[in-house]
Amino acid sequence: MFRPSSQAVLVILSLSAATGAAAQAPLTLAEALRRAEAGAYANRAAAGETATRDAVAMQPYRGILPSFRFESGYIRTTDPLNAFGFTLRQRAVSLASFNPATLNDPEPIGNLMTGLVLEAPLLNFDAWYGRSAASSATDASRAAEDWTRRGTALEVVKAYYGAVLAVEQVRTLESALSAAESHRRQADAMVREGMATKSDGLLAAVKAGEVEVKLLEARSQVRVARRGLAVVMGDPGDTLFTLPDSLPSAESLRALIAVPVSDTAALAGRSDVQAARLALSAADADARRARSLYLPRLNGFGRLDWNDSNTPFGGDNSWTVGVMLSWSPFAGASEIGEGKAAAGRQASARAMAEAASAQATLELTRANEALGVALARLEIAARGADQSAEAHRIVARKYEGGLASVTELFDAAAIETGSRLAHAAARHDALVAAAESRRAGGQDLGSIAAIM
């Protein structure tokens, strides 16, 4: 029977302890952002749209780059003209070929044609302008994808800190329930000693039950919040992660939310504004493409052919080269319609670019205003939490001395619990406001993740 050595047992225990510690490590915001960057549904959809746009941008190259193809075909005929032509192409013409009888009534002849064809666009203005429009549209799609990813990061921040807030609320209510149970036992003891009435004991039990119900609701919210965070990260089945017990302290938040973002930074750094401007550039190039439809096109071609009765690339080859100029000053009014459509798209893109800049400024102003309110609320909530804790302590001492009723005691406890919950909510709102301000200013949300 195999017996592991004591050293092997220690190694196994050490590895097990390390694995357990790693499994219990709280999920950080940085890790949640990293997972969402690759797995979030919106990010993946935006990446697919960019890839599609990038592929579409290759199509105008058809009118810019040369093309090369291989051709082959076999024909067997007794048609006099084609029969003589096949004989000539196969370099098989002799004096007997000019016999009127064989010319008028030839024997069946087969021809295997093999050819290499090169077509080279020389001057196609519509293709060049189309390529410029497609390139700008691809860049606009990439910028829009970046804006989508920033929006996803904001949703991750909200979901993550919302889940952590729910965890902290559970801890606060657990502490409140413990205090309520202690007060209830204290009231029961005083009832037994004749220092309080039976109603005090009944009221204490009712108040403790109310706190227990709130705790059950908070635990349910934690489960929902965890699921919501998993969905935002793009993996709804993974809810085994652990979360921190509480939000960052008020002190760690003040430096984070103290500096607002300027309007100039918003317009320069927001990728949605960049996307709108690039879309306008694409529309301008597309309008030039539509106007260039009235211009002539110049294309070149060359081909190398082999003709044989049954062998590919058999016999002597022949070559043909040439250029082709084509001009369609009027094509059934289709070019007029194309020009009007391009002009409409250009006007729409210009309005959308102007609207994107105006909206960016408005969103940043709104976010900075909300940030200032969140900071003021945080300060008030912090004071309220300290004051309610002290008030609860004073009322508890008065109750012990028979100078306060059990209702006053539980009211003070409820106010303290509410103040602690409000303080946590104020810290959460400050974090979200800071994240929204940074996104509105086109900034990365990495600084939000750095505080926790």
pLDDT at 185 (0 to 100):
80
Q: Give the count of beta carbons closer than 10 Å to the beta carbon of residue 414.
A: 18
User: Stretch 125-134: mean pLDDT, rounded?
Assistant: 93
CA angle in degrees (0–180, nearest 5) for 6-10-13? 135
Residue 399 has pLDDT above 80, yes or no: no
State the pLDDT confidence band at 18, using cuts at 50, 70 and 90.
Answer: very low
User: Stretch 428-451: mean pLDDT, rounded?
Assistant: 86
What would the DSSP string read from start to end of 117-158?
A: EEEEEEE-HHHHHHHHHHHHHHHHHHHHHHHHHHHHHHHHHH
State the pLDDT confidence band at 260, using cuts at 50, 70 and 90.
Answer: low
Of 311-320, 358-367, 401-410, the range with the lowest mean pLDDT is: 401-410
CA angle in degrees (0–180, nearest 5) for 267-269-272? 75
d(C-alpha 323, C-alpha 350), whole Å: 40
pLDDT at 430 (0 to 100):
92
The residues with which 117 forms a beta bridge, in sequence order, are 69, 303
User: Stretch 375-386: mean pLDDT, rounded?
Assistant: 92
d(C-alpha 108, C-alpha 26), whole Å: 85
pLDDT at 262 (0 to 100):
61
**Distances, alpha carbon 113 to alpha carbons 70, 221, 319, in Å:** 11, 76, 13
Instruction: Answer yes or no: are the C-beta atoms of 108 and 87 closer than 8 Å.
Output: no
Q: Which residue has the higher pLDDT, 368 or 451?
A: 368
d(C-alpha 291, C-alpha 71), whole Å: 35
Residue 131 has pLDDT above 70, yes or no: yes
Q: Which residue has the higher pLDDT, 94 or 195?
A: 94
Structural domains in the chain plus CATH codes: 27-68+123-295+337-450 (1.20.1600.10)
User: Stretch 191-200: mean pLDDT, rounded?
Assistant: 69
Instruction: Answer yes or no: are the C-beta atoms of 317 and 306 closer than 8 Å.
Output: yes
Taking all residues of the chain, what is their mean pLDDT, rounded to a whole number? Answer: 86
Instruction: Answer yes or no: are the C-beta atoms of 286 and 56 closer than 8 Å.
Output: no
pLDDT at 258 (0 to 100):
62
User: Stretch 296-309: mean pLDDT, rounded?
Assistant: 94
**Type and span of the H or E element at 425:** helix 406-440
**Distances, alpha carbon 247 to alpha carbons 168, 288, 424, in Å:** 7, 55, 7
Residue 105 has pLDDT above 60, yes or no: yes
User: Stretch 95-106: mean pLDDT, rounded?
Assistant: 90
Residue 15 has pLDDT above 50, yes or no: no
pLDDT at 177 (0 to 100):
86
State the pLDDT confidence band at 21, using cuts at 50, 70 and 90.
Answer: very low
User: Stretch 434-442: mean pLDDT, rounded?
Assistant: 89
Residue 89 has pLDDT above 60, yes or no: yes
pLDDT at 116 (0 to 100):
96
Residue 264 has pLDDT above 50, yes or no: yes
Of 3-12, 145-154, 166-175, 273-282, the range with the lowest mean pLDDT is: 3-12
pLDDT at 225 (0 to 100):
94
Both structure tokens of 312 = 């590919």
pLDDT at 184 (0 to 100):
76
State the pLDDT confidence band at 13, using cuts at 50, 70 and 90.
Answer: very low
Question: In one letter, which amino acid is 311?
Answer: T
**Type and span of the H or E element at 67:** strand 67-77
pLDDT at 24 (0 to 100):
59
Q: Which residue has the higher pLDDT, 17 or 108?
A: 108
User: Stretch 127-155: mean pLDDT, rounded?
Assistant: 95
Residue 4 has pLDDT above 60, yes or no: no
Both structure tokens of 62 = 């058809």
pLDDT at 195 (0 to 100):
64
Residue 283 has pLDDT above 80, yes or no: yes
